[in-house]
Copies of this chain bind each other. A is one copy, B any other.
C-alpha cells in the first residue's frame, strides 16, 4: 500500500484522510492533536519523507506551511494543495517549493456534508502544475475509480468559474444568514432548499469564507455583478435604489 501524508486535519483534512485511506496508507500531521485522529499521526519531519503530501491547511496559512516544509522535502516528492482558490496558492507553491519537488493543484468541490451520500458525481478540479505525467494519471484514476468527476482546468479557469459558482453561493448564503432567515411554517420547497444552503455555509469557518472571497481575484467582480443585477431587479419593481 502506497503511503500518503496529509498536513492539516481540520474538518476537511479529516474527511480527506478517509477518502485517501480507501487505497493509501495515510499519515497525518496537525498542529493541535485531534481527539479522534482519522489516521496515524507523525511529526512533520517524518511526514515530509513521504512520496505524496496533501496540504489541507487553511488557505491563509499556506505561505507559512510551505516555508516550513520546503527544506524538509526530498527531490521527487509530490506536493498537492486542496485550496478553494487556485491561482494564488499555485503561485506560492511555485515560489516557495524547491525545483526538485513536483506540484499538483486540486480542488475537491465537496466536503463531509456534500459527500454524505457518496462521492459519485461530485466534481474535483485538478491540474498538473509541475509533475511526472504518470503520477498525474495515477491520481486521476484514483479519483475516477471512486466515482469523482475529474475536471482538468487551469488555475485561472478554476478561479473564474469558482467565483460565479462556489464563491457566489457562499456569498448569498452568508448574506441570508446575516439577515437571520430561519425555518418558516409557510416556507415553500424552494425556500427550504435555500435554507439548506445557508445552513451548510454556516458550517464553514469565517476564514474559509473570507479566503474564498478575497484570494480569488474574480470574486470581487462577481460581487459587483450580483449587486448590479439585484439593483436592476429592484428598479424594475419601482424601488428607489
Contact = CB atoms under 8 A, between A and B. Distances in A.
B237 A213 contact: yes
A174 to B, nearest CB: 5
A151 B187 CA distance: 11
Interface string A145-172: 0000101010000100110111011011
Contacts of A196: 193
Interface residues of A, number: 58
A179 to B, nearest CB: 5
- By secondary structure, the A interface counts as helix
A58 B214 CA distance: 44
A200 B190 CA distance: 8
Interface stretch (A22-30, A87-95, A106-114): A106-114
Contacts of A165: 181, 184, 186-188, 191
Contact of A164 (B184, B213, B233): B184
A109 B189 CA distance: 8
Interface of A: 107, 109-110, 114, 122-123, 125, 149, 151, 153, 158, 161-162, 164-166, 168-169, 171-176, 178-179, 181, 184-191, 193-194, 196-197, 200-201, 210, 213-214, 220, 223, 225-227, 229-230, 232-234, 236-239
Contact of A210 (B171, B232, B237): B237
A233 B188 contact: no
A114 B185 contact: no
A127 B40 CA distance: 61
B186 A151 contact: yes
A229 B109 contact: no
Given A213-B237, A229-B175, A197 B193 contact: yes
